[in-house]
Copies of this chain bind each other. A is one copy, B any other.
Amino acid sequence: MNDKRLWEPLELIRTRRSTRRFAKRPVEEEKLAAVLEAGRSAPSGGNNQSTHFLVIRSRKVLDELAELAQAAFAAMEETPGMYSSLRSSVRRSKAGGYVFHYNAPVLIVTANRRDHSNNIADCACALENMMLAANGLDLGSCWINQLKWLNEEPSILALLRKHGLQEDERVYGALALGYADTPDGLPPRTPLPRTGNPVSFIDD
């Protein structure tokens, strides 16, 4: 076995961590293009290739999105079985000053056709590829779910449609992307422990 080949892809994958504090420094066009190529290279159900990448760098649109999301979450009520991350968005929106995209310089929204049965999985593969490419390029990134939770919210649909979202498309995830606001400018990379994600072997 070629140890180098064993080590490198695993290292890229193991050291991917979420970045939630971003520097204002913009992402170079070349790096952004590589991240997008990684996303576009993801597999898709039936090779459907219907993931649509909305790359938002406009401060105005990012601010509008944050305000609309905060208003939508603030209008929700917490329910007993509510997903904990969604509950946190609701609470923080009611408190005010909530910016779901961490003010990253780039937000890549992944949309897909509402009637494509593999839409969530296809977007997830594209997002995972982009997070790995970002890590390999010394960029920080973080999976963003808020626009998926709000993917039928009329105000957000209207804004995104003004900027290219198609009528039959909905958002199934997003990626905050940029340089990490850390002393060395690098994203965190020490792998978090995996105490869950169990494995069962079924052998003869």
Interface residues of A (CB under 8 A from B): 1-2, 5-6, 8-10, 12-14, 16, 18, 28, 30-31, 34, 36-61, 81, 83-86, 115-118, 120-129, 131-133, 135-138, 143, 145, 163-164, 172-173, 191-192, 194-204
- Whether A53 pairs with B198 at a CB distance below 8 angstroms is yes
The residue from B18, B45, B138 contacting A145, defined by CB atoms under 8 A apart: B45
- Looking at chain A's contact residues, is the secondary structure mostly helix, strand, loop, or mixed? mixed
- CB contact between A58 and one of B16, B31, B204 (< 8 Å): that residue: B204
Selected contact of A55 from candidates B116, B126, B199, CB within 8 Å: B199
Q: Shortest CB–CB separation between residue A155 and chain B, in angstroms? A: 17
Residues B132 and A6 in contact, CB atoms below 8 Å apart: no
